[in-house]
Amino acid sequence: MAVVFLDRQHSGKNNRRSALGAADDVDGDGDKDVHDAEAIWTARYLLACEIRLRELGHDVMPISDGSYWERHKRANNYQRQDETGIYIAAHLNAGVGRGIGYGSMFYDFRSAKGKILADAINERLRVACPELQGKVKSIEASPENWTKNAFHTIKGVRAIGICAEPAFIDSSAHKPLFSSKGMRAIGEAIADGIDDFIKSL
């Protein structure tokens, strides 16, 4: 038995209520407005992911409020002792400067199963999202190096945690993914990768 926590991060922080993460002029209107924000787009791929997971028969717990440690604590309380927990901290990358970029799944350096889950998701992303040009990475996240921000998004969960950065919001190559069709492809690929991983346990 497994439960999947889908955490829409960068939104719902009481100390930063207006925060929505990174932004780029996704719709090409010359402005970076609410429609161009990371947490608005992650909501779209998370919904597709949830629908697909439920179709596959998995339990899903969406989370979208509180500090990261509060969310982690809540997920830990929800997860039963007899079930596997999977925690997806949903993000989108930025800073590629119109370059190609890549899709990435960060996993906790303390978790052997984390890498296996990241690899399973990336295999599905590679096929479902040709815009990534096959460039997907499973990256070990640690508090000791450049991956520390990703590590902090998942460090407090006892579930198998993944900080998902499936595409770059400012990549010209990834631009087609920033559509209803693209977000659905991302979300369903993440769900199918999770399903593959659960079936392998």
DSSP state of 34: G
Q: What is the mean pLDDT of the chain?
A: 92
Mean pLDDT of 143-162: 97
- Say what percent of the chain tops pLDDT 90: 77
* Angle at CA of residue 138, ends 133 and 143, nearest 5°: 135
Report helix, strand or coil for 114: helix
Residue 12: the pLDDT is 61
> Which range is least confidently modeled, 32-36, 40-44, 71-75, 92-96?
32-36
Report d(CA 22, CA 182) in Å as an integer: 18
pLDDT at residue 98, rounded to an integer: 64
Radius of gyration of the chain (CA): 16
Please tell me the predicted confidence (pLDDT) of residue 117: 98
Q: Could you give the residue ranges of the DSSP H alpha helices within 79-179? A: 112-128, 148-154
Region of poorest pLDDT, from 10-24, 86-100, 146-160: 10-24
Q: What is the pLDDT of residues 31-69, one digit of tens each?
A: 777 767 778 899 999 999 999 999 999 999 999 999 999
Please name each of the domains of the chain with its CATH number: 2-200 (3.40.630.40)
What pLDDT is attached to residue 99? 72
